[in-house]
Amino acid sequence: MDIIKFQNQTITGNVNKESGTISGVSLISNVYGEAKGHGVKIDEASIESFYNQTKDKKIRAYYTHDDSNDALDAVGWFENIRIEKEDDVVSLRGDFVALESFRNHQEHLFDSLMQLASESPSLVHLSAEFHADYIGYDAEGKEYEITNFSEEEEIFIRCRECHAFSFVSNGATNDSLYSKEAN
């Protein structure tokens, strides 16, 4: 297994081009405390809600976000989905498995993804495609549903259904493929 070193941290990941797999990918994390550009916060309960919707499943992987993505546009899937904690960072992690058709018929995209994952993981991120509920916390720390957004309110997401994760250049909740910014 390759060891990828990050600022004061070591994240374990394995990129295996021959088998078309990337292990230890951060699907969503609370590294920023928010989903950048979306006006919502990510807390540990947010990560747990994604886990509850994805555990023991294979979740589609797309090469990028596209409104017209369909099941047959998938380049692979994520499996072995789990929660990992390191200091204050909580991540939903999974292992990417490329479809044989992606490896054989879109070789240039497959090669680019594998090279980025192994040599420059800070240049590729994941983004979730999901349906969410929005919640806030009252003074006692209990959750309540938010239906009307107000700028004064802290809004947290809860995953109701997760369809896919897409490879993107700038993730809203991850700072790299492994959720730690590379040196």
> What one-character-per-residue DSSP string does 17-36 give?
TTTTEEEEEEEEE-SSSEET
- At residue 183, the pLDDT reads 29
C-beta of residue 169 within 8 angstroms of C-beta of residue 124: yes
C-beta of residue 156 within 8 angstroms of C-beta of residue 42: yes
C-beta of residue 49 within 8 angstroms of C-beta of residue 128: no
- At residue 161, the pLDDT reads 96
- At residue 13, the pLDDT reads 66
- At residue 60, the pLDDT reads 95
- At residue 153, the pLDDT reads 83
Sequential pLDDT tens for the chain (183 residues): 333 333 334 455 689 999 999 999 999 999 888 888 888 999 999 999 999 999 999 999 998 766 665 656 789 999 999 999 888 889 999 999 999 999 999 999 999 999 999 998 989 999 999 999 999 999 999 999 998 877 678 999 999 999 999 999 888 888 889 875 432
- At residue 70, the pLDDT reads 61
Dist CA 123 CA 119 (whole Å): 9
